[in-house]
Amino acid sequence: MTTVTASTAPSTRPQHTTDPLALVDVDHVRFWVGNAKQSAFFYATAFGFQVEQIDDLTTGNRTSAQYLLTQGNIRFILETPLSKDHPAADEIRRCGDGIKDISFNVLDAESAWKAAVRNGGTSAYEPVTRSDASGSVTMAGIRTYGRTVHTFVSRTGSYALPEVKQGGKFMPGFRPIGALALNEQNRQNPCGLKFVDHAVGNVEEGKMNHWVSWYENVLGFSMFKHFDDKDISTEYSALMSKVMASGNQLIKFPINEPAAGKKKSQILEYLEWHDMTPGVQHLALRTDDELSSVAALRRRGVDFLNIPETYYEGVWARVDSMLRQHGHSAVKEDHQRIRDLGILVDADDEGYLLQLFTKPLQDRPTLFFEIICRRGSQSFGKGNFKALFESLELEQERRGNL
């Protein structure tokens, strides 16, 4: 028996004044999609996710269908509305499929939510607890840029996150989906994706600093790296980006805004196809082995950005000299295979990283994924931005949007 209660009663837990979030982990990333059944098949087939659990008409949910997909420590909830009155229906009508909510696992969702609201955050929804004999899950949301939400999630009993990671039920209402041939295939052919490294938000021109302050004040994040439009500009378009990191640096949120260029910025293109509403531009998924992951994803048909051949003419001199200058060993992965797989490489004073970006995951040029592997570097591939954006602009031109 599942009970749902809404509560605004004061919490007995201590308040975390310096880190209101008291972030334990990324609980899950929620997508709102037009057809969750088909999206689940896409993310499982293309990216190797396990389709684990479901909450839909068969479990008594008459408002939406939700699928839990997992890989490593990544949990996606793909949700589709079952009627025009569900808020996801209007969101999908305006913006198409995309990420609605990046949820944080915390010790006490209600006190984290209260602290965030006290710090100037706007509530998206008040604490709601779902419980049964096995335990409980409490969720409460605040609104970040656009109509994106951060939900605080706290869990007890067999719904605690360590249990969920071991295959336990996600929350009351969900049921295991049962044996799927696709899941078995994916277990035998893993893609090696481990966790969410960062999530990038695109906001309107002039609003980046507003959201930087918001993450500082409301969630107790701090600025991690700073790029300006001199770093990230091509002949035609530019953007500005600042990276916000959670107190324990478990997750980072780069915030992009468009900067003036001769032609349309990729950030502006995103906004125009996203109802002029800020939202999540890309989700970076971490792997320990970029070459194996990208090779596996390419075999599955994942469409990655095409990196210009000329990129590889300059990359080793740039990367190796940076690594040498800071006393780090050279890139250990096979250089020819990196080129054959079309992977990007960048280095900074701490080491290097390997990364590659997919093309948009839906027909609109909005959300995409990044596959990233860090070898010491904690940055975001600044040296690749120019190469990347030239490649992005080529794609933008083909869509007639440049």
Which positions lie near Fe ion, rule CB under 5 A? 284, 370
Task: Yes or no: say if 130 and 154 are a contact pair by the CB < 8 Å rule.
Answer: no
DSSP string covering 196-229 = EEEEEEE--TT-HHHHHHHHHHHH--EEEEEE-T
Q: Smallest distance from the beta carbon of 281 to Fe ion, in angstroms?
A: 9
133 in helix, strand or coil? coil
Strands (E), 33-188: 50-55, 64-71, 74-81, 98-106, 122-132, 135-143, 149-155, 175-176
Measured from the CB atom, is 116 or 284 closer to Fe ion?
284
Q: Smallest distance from the beta carbon of 307 to Fe ion, in angstroms?
A: 15
Give the DSSP H/E element, type plus range, for residue 236. Answer: none
Evaluated on CA atoms 152, 255, 222, 358, the torsion sign reads positive
Measured from the CB atom, is 109 or 388 closer to Fe ion?
388
**Identity of the residue numbered 8:** T
Task: Yes or no: say if 174 and 68 are a contact pair by the CB < 8 Å rule.
Answer: yes
Measured from the CB atom, is 64 or 148 closer to Fe ion?
148
Measured from the CB atom, is 159 or 385 closer to Fe ion?
385
162-198 as b/e: b if 16+ CB within 10 A = ebbeeebbbbbbbeebeeeeebeebeeeebbbbbbbb
Task: Yes or no: say if 200 and 256 are a contact pair by the CB < 8 Å rule.
Answer: yes
Q: Smallest distance from the beta carbon of 257 to Fe ion, in angstroms?
A: 15
Task: Yes or no: say if 248 and 23 are a contact pair by the CB < 8 Å rule.
Answer: yes
Measured from the CB atom, is 11 or 378 closer to Fe ion?
378
Q: Smallest distance from the beta carbon of 33 to Fe ion, in angstroms?
A: 22
Please list the alpha-helical segments (H only) found in 102-241.
Answer: 109-118, 161-165, 181-188, 208-219
Measured from the CB atom, is 204 or 370 closer to Fe ion?
370
Measured from the CB atom, is 208 or 284 closer to Fe ion?
284
Q: Smallest distance from the beta carbon of 283 to Fe ion, in angstroms?
A: 9
Measured from the CB atom, is 126 or 231 closer to Fe ion?
231
- Burial label for 93, CB within 10 Å (0-12, 13-18, 19+), is exposed
Q: Smallest distance from the beta carbon of 381 to Fe ion, in angstroms?
A: 7
Q: Smallest distance from the beta carbon of 284 to Fe ion, in angstroms?
A: 4
Q: Smallest distance from the beta carbon of 201 to Fe ion, in angstroms?
A: 11
Taking the C-alpha atoms of residue 304 and residue 307, their distance in angstroms, rounded to an integer, is 9
Pairing of strands 279-287, 50-55: unpaired
